[in-house]
A = this chain, B = another copy of it.
Amino acid sequence: MKLILPDSKVLKQSLDAIAELITDAEFVVNEYGLSLKAIDPSQIALVVYNLPRDSFEDFKITGQKKLGLNIPSLQQIIRRAKPEDKVILEVGTNKRFNVTLQGTTKRSFSINLLDLSNSELPNPSINYDVFIKVRAPVLADGVKDAALFASYLTLKIDNENIIISTTSTKGELNSETSLTSVEVLDKDIKNEARSIYSIDFLESLLKGATNDTELEIYLKTDAPLKLKYKIQESTIQYFLAPRIEE
């Protein structure tokens, strides 16, 4: 296996997002590109990541490779790349993973491949009632607003509004964005839906998004929230478990 990225940008941003939730995980490399599916240690959020083969300058693989890696270690290495450095990913001898940053200097880093005997991860297939595509701040700002007062928020989307709300002894928040707002880029509302999610997790899930990011939100009452957006040419998807009120 030998994969060459023309620069480090997409990998740097993607690892910064993934490392928010995941410590050890298995990357899969096959003819379609590089992908990852992992669940956070508390089993509340599932991450599905794909970097397509087209992103690579060179992509040599026979069959499929599973690469168990410590995400923070890989992140630290990729952060050492200069903007103009090519990034070369290889499997070395002795269960080692080699990352070479190739600029005027050739810097080769080598870390251990991990044996991760994953239990098979779920492949959520949910019939969502709500789909909307918005600029990321529509959700991200509401999450930060809610964080002033609480650890959980209620996300409700109906035919007219996106409503983020929370209440505690500290205070109350109610944030309403009309579906006719210019920040709403697309929508498909079958039924209104309403669920409660962890504010900390929502903040982690949105770490890779910028003000311009087009964010796809899939919602169903008391079901996992699905978020999907692009980090450069790669795609990241999250499924976040709801808190069910008793």
Contact, CB under 8 Å: A144 / B112 = no
Contact, CB under 8 Å: A73 / B182 = no
A232 within 8 A of B: no
Query: A105 with B172: in contact, given A76-B148, A77-B148 (CB under 8 Å)?
Result: no
Interface size on A, residues (CB 8 A): 32
Contact, CB under 8 Å: A183 / B107 = no
In the assembled complex, the Cα of A104 lies from the Cα of B175 at a distance in Å of 11
Contact, CB under 8 Å: A108 / B73 = no
In the assembled complex, the Cα of A66 lies from the Cα of B79 at a distance in Å of 46
Contact, CB under 8 Å: B105 / A183 = yes
A138 within 8 A of B: yes
Query: A105 with B170: in contact, given A80-B141, A148-B80 (CB under 8 Å)?
Result: no
Contact, CB under 8 Å: A107 / B145 = yes
In the assembled complex, the Cα of A173 lies from the Cα of B107 at a distance in Å of 7
Closest chain B residue to A106 by CB distance?
A: B176
Task: Return chain B residues, CB-CB under 8 Å to A76.
Answer: 148
Closest chain B residue to A97 by CB distance?
A: B171
Interface residues of A in 173-222 (CB under 8 A from B): 173-177, 181-183
CB distance from A233 to the nearest CB of B (A): 27
Contact, CB under 8 Å: B181 / A73 = no
Interface positions of A (Cβ within 8 A of B):
73, 76-77, 80, 82, 96, 104-112, 138, 141-142, 144-145, 148, 170-177, 181-183
